[in-house]
Amino acid sequence: MTKSVTVYHNAHKEVTERTILGFWHYIMSDCILFATLFVTYAVLHNNTYGGPTSRQLFDLPYVLTETLILLTSSLACGLGLLEARRRDKNKTMIFFGATFLLGLAFLALEINEFYHLVQEGNSWQKSAFLSAYFTLVGTHGLHVASGLLWILVLMAQAWFGGLTWVIIKRFMCLSLFWHFLDIVWIFIFTLVYLMGVIL
């Protein structure tokens, strides 16, 4: 490797590291946002105002399916990043395509769940508990939806522009975001759904 190539690569390394750190700080601030929503839910979850309680509403097997789908999409995302680093464009497309489809399935299940709740008259207007529930789970769903859009855009960029170091840097940010959403969902699954059935 000549000296100029080394300098060039060091510049890329520095930019990538700085971008990843900046994106990591965004994720940390997003964690604080979710923490406030979790606390709001924890404070309000017994205030049902004569409406249904969490135990009457939540269907655990359905939510477990959602959880497993999101977990698998997180795995597919990680494997996709490995392939992107190896510059294997086809496999990158397959794995991120799988990530997208699994994420879409998760979102469809969640929207279906919300639709049925609203259909049965249990919308966010029913009680403080349901307001907090829809805000918390809906915010997560919104993050998943924007992640899906991001995957599509990035896959198109990689397909037409090739796996350049800039695109791989973006894939690294995307995978951080996607794994982070899975971690938030662990807490929604545990603190909202599992505890909602115990209490």
Partner 1 sequence: MTDEFDAIEPHSKNGTLTSYIIGFLLSLVLTLAAYFLVEKQWFDRWTLILVITALAIVQMIVQLFFFLHLGNESKPRWNLHSFLFMALVVVVLAGGSLWIMYSLDVRVMPAANINSEMPHD
Residue whose structure tokens are 């009680």: 127
Closest to partner 1 by CB, 112 or 190: 190
Cβ burial, residue 44 (10 Å; 0-12/13-18/19+): middle
Interface size with partner 1, residues (CB under 8 A): 53
Distance (Å, whole) CA 23 – CA 97: 23
Q: Which parts of 150-179 interact with partner 1 (CB under 8 A)?
A: 165, 168, 172, 176, 179
Closest to partner 1 by CB, 68 or 142: 68
Distance (Å, whole) CA 95 – CA 154: 13
Closest to partner 1 by CB, 79 or 130: 79
Taking the CA atoms of residue 42, residue 140, residue 64 and residue 103 in that order, the dihedral angle to the nearest 10 degrees is 180
Q: Which parts of 15-44 interact with partner 1 (CB under 8 A)?
A: 16-17, 20-21, 24-25, 28-29, 31-32, 35-36, 38-39, 42-43
Q: How far is the CA of 8 from the CAs of 3, 11, 85, 91, in angstroms? A: 9, 5, 18, 27
Q: Which parts of 48-107 interact with partner 1 (CB under 8 A)?
A: 60, 64, 67-68, 71-72, 74-75, 78-79, 81-82, 85-87
Cβ burial, residue 104 (10 Å; 0-12/13-18/19+): middle
Q: Which residues bind partner 1 (CB under 8 A)?
A: 9-10, 12-13, 16-17, 20-21, 24-25, 28-29, 31-32, 35-36, 38-39, 42-43, 60, 64, 67-68, 71-72, 74-75, 78-79, 81-82, 85-87, 165, 168, 172, 176, 179-180, 182-183, 186-187, 189-191, 194-195, 197-199
